[in-house]
Chain A
Amino acid sequence: DTEVTQTPKHLVMGMTNKKSLKCEQHMGHRAMYWYKQKAKKPPELMFVYSYEKLSINESVPSRFSPECPNSSLLNLHLHALQPEDSALYLCASSQEAEQNEKLFFGSGTQLSVL
C-alpha cells in the first residue's frame, strides 16, 4: 500500500464551523506533513510531525490545529476560518522527516470557506 488517503475530498464550511481533515497512511512512514496549496500556486508547508510529535510549525494561525493520534493518522482541526483559507489541503508522508525528499502526497481536501 503506497497510498496516502485523505478525507473528505471536498468540504464547504462557514466561518463559525468546526471541522476536521483526516489523513491516513500505512507505509510505516514516521514523518507526516500538512501543506496548503492555493490555485495555480505551489504547495506551502504548514506542519511537520516526526514520530508523532510536532517538529515544525511554519507560523500557521492557531485556527489550524494539527493532531497526530498515532503513526498512521494525521488530523487537521479547523475552527473560525476565514474565506482566504479556502485552498487545497494536502497531506504527505515520508520515511523520516530528515529524508523528506520522497514525499507521498494524498489527493487533498478542497476546502471552501464561506
Chain B
Amino acid sequence: GDSVTQMEGPVTLSEEAFLTINCTYTATGYPSLFWYVQYPGEGLQLLLKATKADDKGSNKGFEATYRKETTSFHLEKGSVQVSDSAVYFCALSAHMDTGRRALTFGSGTRLQVQP
C-alpha cells in the first residue's frame, strides 16, 4: 500500500539556519504530495502541495519539489525562525482500490528552532 517515510526528529536548529526535512514515498499511480504543519496545541494546516512530477510547492519561505525519479518531496527553508517550531507532516493523496482518494500521513518531524 501507499506509505510515507519521514526523517525522525527532533530537528534542532538555531535561528536563521537552513532547514531540510526529508520525505520519501511509495505509491502506485500518480499521487499528489503535501506538507502539513501542526503548531503546539493546534490542528494541522496545509503548508504546501505539488500535484505532479517536477512541480514545486512553496509557502511562507518553505519549498518542496516533487521528484518522481527519487520518489521524494523534501521540505526546505533557507532561514528558519523561532516561530517555525512545530511538527511537520509529509502526506500523499492517491486513489485507492475502492476508487476513492485517501490522505496518508508520514510519522511527523518535530522542528525546534532556538534563538
Chain A residues whose C-beta falls within 8 Å of the C-beta of B82 in the assembled complex: none
The answer on a CB contact under 8 Å between B45 and A56 is: no
Q: Which chain B residues in 66-108 approach chain A with CB under 8 Å?
A: 89, 93, 100-103, 105-108
- B34 in contact (CB, < 8 A): yes
- B41 in contact (CB, < 8 A): yes
Closest to A43 in B: B105
Tally of contact residues, B, Cβ under 8 A: 20
| The one of B43, B93, B107 that contacts A107, using a Cβ cutoff of 8 Å | B43
Chain A residues whose C-beta falls within 8 Å of the C-beta of B44 in the assembled complex: 43, 90, 92, 103, 105
A89 CB to nearest chain B CB (Å)? 10
A44 CB to nearest chain B CB (Å)? 8
Known: A41-B107, A42-B106. A101 touches B93 (CB 8 A): yes
Bound CA span A19–B49, Å: 36
A-B contact number at CB 8 A: 50
A74 CB to nearest chain B CB (Å)? 14
Known: A97-B100, A100-B101, A100-B102. A42 touches B41 (CB 8 A): no
The answer on a CB contact under 8 Å between A102 and B46 is: yes
Q: What per-residue 1/0 map shows which CB atoms of A27-44 lie under 8 Å from chain B?
A: 000000000000011110
The answer on a CB contact under 8 Å between A103 and B108 is: no
Bound CA span A34–B85, Å: 26
Closest to A110 in B: B41
Bound CA span A55–B100, Å: 10
Q: Which chain A residues in 46-103 approach chain B with CB under 8 Å?
A: 55-56, 90, 92, 97-103
| The one of A4, A41, A55, A97 that contacts B108, using a Cβ cutoff of 8 Å | A41
Closest to B4 in A: A42
Chain B residues whose C-beta falls within 8 Å of the C-beta of A105 in the assembled complex: 43-45
B positions within 8 Å CB-CB of A? 32, 34, 41-46, 49, 89, 93, 100-103, 105-108, 110
A positions within 8 Å CB-CB of B? 4, 6, 40-43, 45, 55-56, 90, 92, 97-103, 105-108
